[in-house]
Amino acid sequence: MLRIGIVGASGYTGSELMRLLINHPKVEVSYVTANRHIGTKVADLNKGLYGLIGLSFEEFDPRRVKDLTDFVFVALPHGKSMDVVPALLESGVKLIDLSGDFRFADKDIYESWYKMEHTAGSLLGKAAYGLSELNREMIKASSFVANPGCFPTGAILALAPALKADLIEASGIIIDALTGTSGAGRVASEELHFSEVSENVTSYKLGGIHQHIPEMEAELAKIAGVEVKVSFSPHLASFSRGIYSTIYADLKKKTSLEDVISVYDGFYAGEHFVKVLLKGHYPEVKSVSGSNFCQIGIAVDERLNRLIIISAIDNLIKGASGQAIQNMNLMLGLKEKDGLEMAGLRP
């Protein structure tokens, strides 16, 4: 069995990694860190893992990583991963970083959007971008992968076929996305109190300031071969997990819904974790919750000559930990579906 370490294992993404990895046929979790919970048993913090993981959280020590692991996930917040990734790479382990610290090649872009100094600038541009369906061969060949953000995952998978086939204009794309409360992480805040969130929808970081915008635009531009501009509006909704993105793009010419669906079917032919729905069918958050699947539904507004794309993912799985395991499987030469063959939790 391959030994897996998780740095920052007490948050939601770290907890999801452990929950998914205990069912993986080829790996075992051997080392977990959480500086706020040093000495605490994993199952005391995450009671769903009681009797399944006997480890306790440790303080991060790169020497322990080298001795106890063959592969490492870094599940620390933005701005914290850059403090540990250099030492991990120097130790020779393969790793996936789930923060935004290494998704960009340009230090100035990171610092401008994330509003903090990047202290490991020499590593920028060294990580493969871990969107498995689009960068599979690059991920297989890499020892260092930057896992995509949750919002970009849903948006890029939804837009990639249309941009690749030159069906839509590359500017003026509108992405309107609802996310569940787990996207904010485990740290408590007033706006996430039950009485504030329940039966409610709120908006945040409007006006082109969300840090996922440059990630979306950079990766979509690689697909389109031209500069891509998006208007992105995130909303917090009263469900625990999921991202539901409704995307609007102007068609370059009159195109039937049947032809668009044919393009999407061809683009994702053979892809297990992306499901293009039939004409007249649209995704639901419940249908992907608890799974590594992305569902895509498509409509054409003939009056405005506009393409409407809807995607749904579980933000903690396909948007984070599940996609990270999918990438790990590619990096280690394992079956891509290992540990991830679960359907959505409905109802």
**Are 322 and 288 within 8 A, CB to CB?**
no
Flag whether pLDDT at 145 surpasses 90: yes
Residue-wise pLDDT tens digits, 197-214:
889 999 999 999 999 999
Span 326-346, average pLDDT: 96
Is the pLDDT assigned to residue 189 strictly greater than 80? no
User: What's the CA gap between 267 and 271, in Å, rounded?
Assistant: 9
Q: DSSP assignment of 267-336, as one string? A: HTTT-SSEEEPPTT----HHHHTTSS-EEEEEEEETTTTEEEEEEEE-TTIIIIIHHHHHHHHHHTT--T
As a whole number, the mean pLDDT across the chain is 96
Question: Which pLDDT does position 185 carry in this prediction?
Answer: 73
pLDDT digits (tens, 9 = 90+) for 222-248: 999 999 999 999 999 999 999 999 999
**Residues 31, 93 contacting (CB under 8 angstroms):** no
Interacting residues of 36 by C-beta distance below 8 A, sequence separation 6+: 10
Residues contacting residue 150 through CB under 8 Å, at least 6 positions apart: 179, 183, 243, 313, 315, 319, 320
pLDDT band at 188 (very low <50, low <70, confident <90, very high): low
Name residue 4's beta-bridge partners: 29, 71
| pLDDT at residue 177 is higher than 70 | yes
Assessment of whether the complete model's pTM goes beyond 0.75: yes
Instruction: Tell me the per-residue pLDDT of 50-89, one tens digit each, with 9 for 90 and over.
Output: 999 999 999 999 989 989 999 999 999 999 999 999 999 9
* Residues noted as catalytic: 150
Tell me which DSSP letter residue 123 carries.
G
pLDDT tier at 192, thresholds 50, 70, 90: confident
Residue 178 parent element (H or E): strand 173-179
pLDDT bin (cut points 50, 70, 90) of residue 328 is very high
Residue 336 has pLDDT above 90, yes or no: yes
Q: What is the pLDDT of residue 291?
A: 98
Tokens of 7: 């740095």
3-state secondary structure of 132: helix
pLDDT of residue 284: 96
Which of the four pLDDT bands, split at 50, 70 and 90, describes residue 183? confident
CA distance 13 to 324: 10
pLDDT digits (tens, 9 = 90+) for 6-59: 999 999 999 999 999 999 999 999 999 998 999 999 999 999 999 999 999 999
